Amino acid sequence: MEAFNKDWKKKLTPEQYRILREKGTEPAFTGKYFDSKEKGMYTCAGCGTELFSSDAQYDSGSGWPSFYDPISQDVVKTEHDESHGMNRSEVLCSTCGGHLGHVFPDGPKEKGGKRFCINSESLKFDSKE
């Protein structure tokens, strides 16, 4: 396990490691993508798996990048999370298991009602522009 962690620490910045591997979060309104309007694809900062299209991104007012759907249900998985005294659904990258954020049932009703609230540090962005 130690070698596994060393490999991640070499690949990721300290903040990315804290979020992706230790299930941390960034403060609201501080991430580089929370209010992005660029067109493109968001990938996992850990392994490069394509996760979310900017077409599914919207301004939820939460301070984190918010999406109403991943590009496919296969690219993310969810697990029950009771950390910090809350009852939530954690969102993980299906490929590397990296912590991305949480999903909540308060998204746009016309788009299925989900809000994938994702840490900017867990993402990389490939611009179409």
Reported as type and span, the H/E element at residue 42 is strand 40-44
Respond yes or no: is residue 96 known to be catalytic. Answer: no
- DSSP secondary structure of 54-112: GGGEE--SSSS-EES--S-TTSEEEEEE-GGG--EEEEEETTT--EEEEEES-S-GGGT
Could you say which of 47, 93, 96, 117 is catalytic?
Answer: 117
Residues tagged active-site: 117
